[in-house]
Amino acid sequence: MTEKFHAIESKINKPVTYFLMGLIWIAVILIIIVTGTVFSFFCNNFRQYLENDPGIFFTLFIAQLLLMFCCIVLIMALTHRKKQKIRKAMVDEKGVTFYNNRNTIIETILYKDLQSAQNSSGDVQICNTQTIKYGKTTLRIYLKNKAGKILPATVDFNFELVILSNQYDLYRQFLLGIQHFRPDLRITPQTIEQYNLTSEPQKTEFGIFEYIMAAVFILAAAGLVYVVILLMKMFV
């Protein structure tokens, strides 16, 4: 690699990200509506069910608590600790830098800081949390801590609540940087093969799996709306 090493910045897949975020907020709104409907029904028939059918009374009470808990968890996931969430990554000749939504640096992994693994078949290797093709993918590297001990670390371009359109390119460019600036490190054959480090990168396209997932999300949203309408007809 004799040409100048160029930097790559992460790109958010806005249609998919906004679509998923919209579904989450729709779920929050629907839960609030259902919670309000159940609460209204619960209050209007409080004494009747408490005296005549305590089983339904406690069922409605527990359902109300569960709905409120789900709503709080979803809202916290969307709004809590935004400053600590990674929203952008930059891979350049120094390594990879992660930023939050205010463009403040959260973490930096430099090529010069990478270490050789002591008891491993490779110094850099791909890790899949699932065996399926579309499972979460990360890179395992090795860094030295403050005590001087070499420990495994992770390079992760799977951002919370954000879908990247060039995740593959970010991993590949980081690995190319290792090949270029740290040829002493061993990249496992599986990693080299998956990211085409000996040839030109493959272009990623919106395939049948993505279309199926989009259809599933749309049907799920329609189903939630239908359930809410039925509940409102039953309780109102």
In a domain, 2, yes or no: no
pLDDT band at 2 (very low <50, low <70, confident <90, very high): very low
- Regarding whether 182 and 109 lie in a shared domain, the answer is yes
Q: Are 154 and 139 in contact (CB under 8 A)?
A: yes
In a domain, 7, yes or no: no
Report how many domains make up the chain: 2
Beta carbons within 10 angstroms of residue 186's beta carbon: 16
Beta carbons within 10 angstroms of residue 137's beta carbon: 19
Amino acid at 221: A
CATH number of the domain that residue 106 is part of: 2.30.29
- Regarding whether 50 and 33 lie in a shared domain, the answer is yes
**pTM score of the predicted model:** 0.71
- Regarding whether 58 and 91 lie in a shared domain, the answer is no
pLDDT band at 226 (very low <50, low <70, confident <90, very high): low
Model confidence over 61-86: pLDDT tens digits?
787 788 788 778 777 777 766 666 88
Residue pointed to by tokens 């609540």: 161
pLDDT (mean) for 51-61: 71
